[in-house]
Amino acid sequence: MPRSKRDKKVSLTKTDRKGLAWKQRIIDDIRFCVEKYPNIFVFQVQNMRNNLLKDLRQEWKQNSRFIFGKNRIMQIGLGRTKAEEVETGIHKLSKRLSGQVGLLFTEKSKADVLAWAENYWAVEYARSGFAATETVTLPAGPLEEFAHSMEPHLRSLGLPTKLEKGVVTIYSDYTVCEEGKILTPEQARILKLLGKPMAKFRLTMKCSWTKDDGFQLHVEEEEEEADMVTECPVEEDDEEEEDDDEE
């Protein structure tokens, strides 16, 4: 009997990865944007969400471009030193490319962008590692918002549930999380199922470079470090981060 063609082992070490050509394209895109747009900002992300960043790209696409990816690649695109910089003084932006940051190239004025960033935020569900902003307690009784088929999953997350006449029921009071304490993966999933967002996605403009005014710092180093401490850890892997650059 011939061997089935379906029974074939594939070595994961041979899967394609984005290589030198992809990195060079990002560098070229950055240098093209430096020539096209008069204003460039380095922004820091709190509670990174790819879907929200994509929404912003769509909203700003007429006169702006967001690039978010590997800091080292973005630094090369701008120029890491005074000798390498593509415009006078722009290497100072590269020095601020650390942590969860990205580049915003725009035709909008500096004042408009800073005012927008100050007021923009979006509510999101917290992930594990995030400090709870409130105490959430579920009293004993029915959870009618959940279908009976959800009961095993809720129980696996630690909720003291059972089925009573086909209704998911908590048989004792249960504290999901306590204010100020770090969320576990199970707690974060429960809060999402309950529809209780505790995180805010927002962008902080760290610094800018404009063709008229040159480089300007908008957030002091001490404030940046404080923001990094209070951020929720990002769970996206490198592949997802790289995918953002392709748009």
Give the DSSP per-residue string, 143-205: -TTS-GGGHHHHHHTT--EEEETTEEEESS-EEEE-TTSBPPHHHHHHHHHHT---EEEEEEE
Write out the two tokens for 132. 């709870």
CATH code, 155: 3.90.105.20
Shared domain for 154 and 32, answered yes or no, is: no
Examine the domain organization and report whether 82 and 161 are in the same domain: no
User: Looking at the structure, do residues 70 and 109 belong to the same domain, yes or no?
Assistant: yes
DSSP 14-56: GS----HHHHHHHHHHHHHHHHH-SEEEEEEEES--HHHHHHH
* Whether pLDDT at 219 is above 60: yes
Regarding whether 104 and 205 lie in a shared domain, the answer is: yes
Please report the pLDDT score of residue 242 as a whole number: 42
The 10s digit of each residue's pLDDT in 141-161 is: 999 899 999 999 999 999 999
In a domain, 117, yes or no: yes
State whether 67 and 30 are in the same domain: yes
Q: Among 195, 202, 240, 188, which residue's Cα sits nearest to residue 52? A: 202
Mean pLDDT of the chain: 83
The tens digit of pLDDT for each residue in 65-117 reads 999 889 999 999 999 999 999 899 999 999 999 988 999 999 999 999 999 99
DSSP code of residue 131: B
Q: Is the pTM of this model over 0.75?
A: no
DSSP state of 12: G
Q: Give CA–CA dist 211/197, Å, rounded.
A: 40
The structural domain count of the chain equals 2
For 172, the domain range is 130-194
* Residue 232 in domain: no
In this prediction, residue 16 carries a pLDDT of: 53
Look at residue 195 and tell me whether its pLDDT is greater than 60. yes
Residue 169 domain-assigned (yes or no): yes
Same domain, 90 and 33: yes
Residues 136 and 168 occupy one common structural domain:
yes
Same domain for 100 and 205, yes or no, is: yes
Residue 75's pLDDT is 94
117 and 163 within one domain: no
**Residue 246 counted as domain residue:** no
